[in-house]
Structure 1
Amino acid sequence: MTAPGEGRDIPGDPPDPPFRILHVSTGNVCRSPITERLTRHALAARLGARAGAELIVESAGTWGHEGAPMEENAAAVLSELGADPAGFRARELLDGHVIHADLVLTATRDHRAQVISMGHSAGLRTFTLKEFTRLVRAIDPATLPDTADLAGRARALVRAAAALRGWLLAPTPEADEVHDPYGAPLTFFEAIGGEISEALDPVINALTGAEVAR
């Protein structure tokens, strides 16, 4: 007679659900698409197929041009930086996007305020991109969970950043802003793309525990 449970696989603890990153700007045709696709590109460079399965990256706009393509100059900048702009379509920011996001990174303080005003306990997981970068730089990677659990590591990183927010202030309010290049020439888009890429680098390193080979 088989004892209860004998001969059957007994599952362990279920894995953490994927960690969701939401990038937010105004129209979701310039800054947040650049940030979304650069984040995906950088994660894939470090993690390969694990990136899309364990860390989901999306974007939306507070006044999103629903279904619109990315701005032509934004797409050009992404291509210059090695990321893929193909197939992007803008989305308007909805409650569901905020509810399901584990980390919301906005282009400006105004966007951050708009996300937080939507409720859904978003305050502790919503930062401007540059604000989050500043906080992440102050976190010792050795205090984070191992990269075997990427989602758990990412959630711990957000908690640590939120705990530091009142202690590590920006030198100026402008330091936390990524300015809108909408309607600007390609050179300005390139400057904004460079700012975003530079801000993302320490964040991606902290999330993955690895720097990309250069």
Structure 2
Amino acid sequence: MLSMLVVCTGNICRSPAAQLLLADVLDSSVSVSSAGTRALVGAAVAEPVARRLTGLGIDTSGFTARALDSSLVERSDVVVTMTAEHRAAVLGVVPGALRRTFLLTELVLLAEHAGADAVSGRDDEARLRALVAAAGRTRATIGPARAHDVADPYGREDARYAEMLAEVREQATRLRCALRR
């Protein structure tokens, strides 16, 4: 089973949304979890995010926020971050995770631009492992400027939560489609 870790700041908005949405669209060969660089440890998913996820049929009741630490990164096959700052924080904790740590939007672009052999396999685990292995070559073709951060809605107006969730949902769907083409 492939272990995917999703990282944001508080681990109550973006990373739990990505964790739950990715777990919903990827097959059972991938285990998705999340953590925060400044996590509100033990907190549930923020209410505006939880409400919207519940509306999509995704259960948030078992989620609790946790802090990013080196053991979580070391045990993960793929680390997905919401921002370049989060990526830097992951690499500050485990520098050896460089080749398997991606912005969410970067991972999606890599999957969409990789050759068919880079996303081949019998399940999402095999496809993601192949994608990570080919990422260095593919990164050179797309360039880092096309990937972007997922904005933090925390403490902002309700519409920002909706925008964030729509973007994360779109990225998760695009990743699933790119892996299964």
TM-score normalized with structure 1 length: 0.78
Specify which of 183, 188, 194 is matched with residue 160 of structure 2: 188
Task: Provide the residue aligned with 1:136 in structure 2.
Answer: 111
1:122 aligns with 2:97: yes
Secondary structure of the structure 2 residue equivalent to 1:36: helix
Per-residue CA deviations over 1:124-173 (Å, capped at 9, x if unaligned) read 000110111111110133543331x543322111122233223312446x
Matches within 5 A, 1:195-210: 195-207=167-179, 209=180
Rounded to whole Å, the distance in 1 between the matches of 2:6 and 2:121 is 25
* In 1, Cα distance between equivalents of 2:144 and 2:128: 23
Say which structure is richer in helix.
Answer: 2
Secondary structure of the 2:169 match is: helix
Report the Cα offset of residue 114 of structure 1.
0.8
- In the other structure, the counterpart of 1:13 is none
The 5 Å alignment of 1:10-159 reads 18-43=1-26, 47=27, 51=28, 54-119=29-94, 121-147=96-122, 149-159=123-133
RMSD, aligned α-carbons: 1.8
Measure, in 1, the Cα distance between the counterparts of 2:45 and 2:108: 25
Q: Which consecutive residues of structure 2, in runs of 5 or more, have no partner in the other structure?
A: none
The reply to whether residue 178 of structure 1 matches residue 153 of structure 2 is: no
Distance 1:68 1:143, change over 3 A: closer
SS of residue in 1 equivalent to 2:58: coil
Alpha-carbon distance between aligned partners in 2 of 1:202 and 1:186, rounded to the nearest angstrom: 25
The number of residue pairs the alignment matches comes to 181
Separation (CA, whole Å) in 2 of partners of 1:150 and 1:63: 30
* Partner amino acid, structure 1, of 2:173: D
| Residue identity matched to 2:168 | I
Runs of 4+ in 1 over 3 A off after TM superposition: 141-145
The amino acid that maps onto 2:129 is R
Structure 1: gaps spanning 5 or more residues: 1-17
Identity fraction in percent: 35
140 and 85 in structure 1: CA distance in 2 versus 1, 3 angstrom threshold: same
